[in-house]
Amino acid sequence: MIPRGDRAELSVTVRDSSGEPISAPASVKLYHDGVPTDQSAASHGRAFFVFRTLGTYTLVVDATGYKATEKEVTVPVAMKFEVDVYVQREPSSNETAGVPGKPLLAPKAKEALDKSLEALSVNKLTEAEKYVAEAMKLAPGHPDVLYVQGLLYLGQRNWTQAQSVLEKAAQMDPNNAHIFSALGMALTDQGKYEEAIPPLEKSLQLEASGGWETHWALGKAYYYRRQYDQALKTSQLALTESNGKAPQIELLVAQSLTAVGRYDDAAETLRDFLKRHGDLPEAATAKRWLNGLSNSGKTRQN
């Protein structure tokens, strides 16, 4: 056993799809640059490590009755870290292969979750926070609760916290389109456009009519990754689907039209936006872009 002293320490909790620590026998191995450095048997789903050196490590969990799972963890300073690793149960011979169903929410937890969603729908964040906290006490680690907690963090503009809980939810419920959409939005809001594209695309694969918010976030991610044709197609789809709920999408459409060289169409889009939404804060941006197109000589004067 390495004495801790000033070394970094890692506490690992292996959880099942309900979010509870597993009771099955489990081995947790630690790799650094592909080289095994330590191994621990998990007791009631928990294992502990003390690091010789700082850096990025890979945890590999093998638990009886569960699929082997890997997770990267970065240890930048000498302090105690905690990490959760979620494992999926292996289907037995009399089960059909696939992702196990989610655990059911108890009635009180579901009631708290429904109330939090209702509060979020009308932007009552303080009320939503109260009900999310209640749901977390009753069903900690349930993917639906984590999803709504992620939505709350998005509403509070706590992007990194939203990303963290939504990544856990996505690992536990990998067929939930709404979770992947929210995760993609959390990444987009942080400017992590390349990372945002896969979860947003997966959300739309799982549910083709994923909603205008998903298409808007994906269009933005495509644009900033210079995938302009895809940005134009996706932003136009978002604009159509939104039915006027988010006229700001027109600015992304105009940006994408400019990027693919359709300057007159971009200018027309900006003029329409100013005509119908000149009272919005974004009108100043639209006017500036329109003047820029006009001054550059790329568009016809109107």
Q: How many residues belong to the chain?
A: 302
What is the residue extent of each domain of the chain?
Answer: 9-86, 105-210, 226-302
Does the model's pTM come out above 0.75?
no
Structure tokens at 140: 């900690």
CB 8 within 8 A of CB 75: yes
- Which residue type occupies 113? L
DSSP codes, 12-33: EEEE-TTSSBP-S-EEEEEEET
pLDDT tens, 4-53?
446 788 888 888 876 778 888 888 888 877 777 888 888 788 888 887 78
Per-residue pLDDT tens over the stretch 247-256: 999 999 999 9
pLDDT score recorded for residue 36: 78
List pLDDT tens digits, range 121-151: 888 999 999 999 999 988 888 889 999 999 9
- What is the DSSP secondary-structure string of 190-245? TT-HHHHHHHHHHHHHH-SS--HHHHHHHHHHHHHTT-HHHHHHHHHHHHHHHTTS
Say which CATH superfamily domain 9-86 falls into: Carboxypeptidase-like, regulatory domain (2.60.40.1120)
Q: In terms of Cα–Cα distance, which of 12, 10, 41 is closest to 27?
A: 41
* Topology (CATH) of 105-210: 1.25.40
